[in-house]
Structure formats: C-alpha cells, structure tokens
Amino acid sequence: MENFVIIRDVTRNVRRFNLSGRIMEFKIKPVPNNLDPVQWIKNAIIQLIHKAVEALSPHDMVGFSFCSKDFKNGEGWLRFKPVKEVAIDDVWNTITSIYQSNSSGLSTETFCFRVTSVRLPSGLGRSRKYNNYKEECRARRGIVLIKNSDNLCLPRAIVVAMAYVDHDVDYHKIRTNRGKIQDQKAMNLLEETKITIADCGAGIPELQRFQNHLSGYKLTVYLYGRKGRDVMFEGDSAGKHLNLMYHEGHYNVITSLTAAFACIYYCQECHVPYNNKTDHRCGGTCAACQQSPACSK
C-alpha cells in the first residue's frame, strides 16, 4: 500500500532543446493509529521518491522541494543532481533537520513534497529515431527480435540464425516460435552441447563453447549502437555466418548486416560499414560487387 497520494503531475516538452520536464507533487496520507508516525512518514518519502524517478535514466536530473505551513523560513529544497546520485537518506535528513530548526513535528496534514525532473537528450541534441534497443530491433529490417521470458536468448538466437542461413523450410515457424518449435530447438542445442546457461545469461565462455560445437558455422556477435564496428565475439572457424547483436544481456539475430547497420555496404573481414565503393578497400571485399566475403567471380 502506498503511503502517499499524487496531487499534481505535469509534463512539459521543450522541442527546441529536446528536453522533457516533469513536476510531481505529493501529499502523505494520515498516519494510522497503530503505526509509528516517523516510520510511516519515512516510508512514504521512500515510496514517492521511487515513484518519481522510476521512468528516468541514471543521467537525467532531479530536484526536490518541500513545504509546510509549519515552516517559518519558506520551503526547503535539495539541488538538482543526476538520478544515479540521489540518496534517500540525504532527502530524509534534510527534511528532518528543517523541521527540527522550526521546532515543530512533521505533520502529514500540512506537508507537501515536490519532485522536479528533467529528461536530458542523448547525443548532440538531435532526437533519436528509436527510444531503446528493443524498439529499434523490432522496427529495423535485417534484425530478428528474440522474444523470451527465460535466460535462453542466446541458444534461441543461434537456432533462429541457423534456420535462416540454412534456408530451413520451417524458418518462419522457428523465428516466431510457432508451436513452441524454437523452445524445443534451443533445448536440443543445449542438450547436444551440454551447456548450462546461468540465471544471469550467457557470455563469452558460452559463446566459445557453442562455436566449438557448431562446425561449419562462424559465430559473430556485434555490439549494439556501434554500427558493426565493435565485435563482442567472433569464432575462428570458417563456414556459414551466424550474426547476432548483443546489448545489456540480450541477443538478437542479424539477417542483413547492411540493413542492421544502416549502410549500403559492409565489410565482414574488417567490420567496416560504408556507403561508397571507394570508401573501403581490402582483400576480403569483392572490388566489383562489394560482396563480403569476396565472391569467386
């Protein structure tokens, strides 16, 4: 049960600077007769701070102010700081010290708490086309979004990528997990490799073990947001390319490197995206058609 009520919630956008500001005002509910008033009020402060910052990123800015008819010298406040630096004890200590200086106890009837937050733009001030990794992968051609509620996104991504490069007749069923076929193939892969995925997910050790098992395939994992320039893992073996994308513990499948990285050409040998044929030259790219790896024609 929440110990507070929201009495005002206003959001304003400043398009010129790509900023979003929000003001939330709270009142603390009356203290039940059988509970400690100080603990009730402190729990309310903790709850409303969490409520106010739950949709903010660690680098967004937030400030606090509080007022009461019991205050003789105006409202109290804490300066703006990044969300990641907010400490509940600092807020609580400031509130209690102000009440002590006013020689009065904290009354839920007269106390009002205000939180002002500012969402900062990413990059150089231009708005982002996509808000997050999941949204971009869902919208961008060339990426298959792996949907899972377990810790098996890596084996799921691998079996989907294998079905794609092998032109499996059941590819669309595997990709969409129709009839739980993706579940079964992922579990079969784990049984074949005798790999156990920890609750926190799979990393480099598991990728290496999968690569050792997948003869005839080359596993490459690209880091999200780097347009293909940074690779988390790349197998040593030659074979069909199983290209995955990784971000914050989740793996998705790349079916088209140029579509995934928003470029016209992409060199798999050098991990370089480019848009003009003359922008990149290496032995791993066909000089005629820019295919990578180089074609035999």
Residue 127's pLDDT band (boundaries 50, 70, 90)?
A: very low
Give the mean pLDDT of 215-228.
88
Q: What is the pLDDT of residue 50?
A: 87
Higher pLDDT, 131 or 109: 109
> CB pairs under 8 A, 24+ apart, for 180-184?
182/156
Share of the chain above pLDDT 90, in %: 28
Among 40-54, 103-117, 155-169, 276-290, the range of highest mean pLDDT? 155-169
Mean pLDDT of the 1-27 span: 74
**pLDDT the model gives residue 186:** 96
CA 202/CA 205 separation, integer angstroms: 8
pLDDT confidence of residue 292: 55
Q: Is the pLDDT of residue 124 over 50?
A: no
CB proximity list for 34: less than 8 A, separation 6 or greater: none
Integer CA distances (angstroms), 261 to 33, 42, 114, 264, in order: 61, 49, 43, 9
Query: How far is CA 295 from its chain centroid?
Result: 38
pLDDT of 238: 83
Whole-angstrom Cα distance, residue 137 to residue 129? Answer: 12
Q: How confident is the model at residue 167 (pLDDT cuts 50, 70, 90)?
A: very high
Q: Confidence class of residue 242 from pLDDT cuts 50, 70 and 90?
A: very high
Mean of all residue pLDDT scores within the chain: 82
- How large is the average pLDDT for residues 221-233? 85
pLDDT at 105 over 80: no
Question: Is the predicted pLDDT of residue 227 greater than 50, yes or no?
Answer: yes
Q: Which of 94-108, 178-192, 261-275 has the lowest mean pLDDT?
A: 94-108
| Domain ranges for the chain | 4-118, 133-262
**CATH architecture designation of domain 133-262:** Alpha-Beta Complex (3.90)
pLDDT at residue 209 tops 90? yes
Check pLDDT > 90 for residue 185: yes
Q: Which of 13-22, 221-230, 241-250 has the lowest mean pLDDT?
A: 13-22
Distance CA 83, CA 100 (A): 27
Least confident among 24-28, 72-76, 266-270, 289-293: 289-293
4-118 — its CATH code? 3.30.1490
Q: Is the pLDDT of residue 16 over 60?
A: no
Q: What is the torsion angle, in degrees rounded to the nearest 10, for the CA atoms of residue 208, residue 213, residue 218 and residue 222?
A: -40
User: By percentage, how much of the chain surpasses pLDDT 70?
Assistant: 82
Is it the case that residue 122 has pLDDT exceeding 60?
no
User: How far is Cα 144 from Cα 154, in angstroms, rounded to an integer?
Assistant: 13
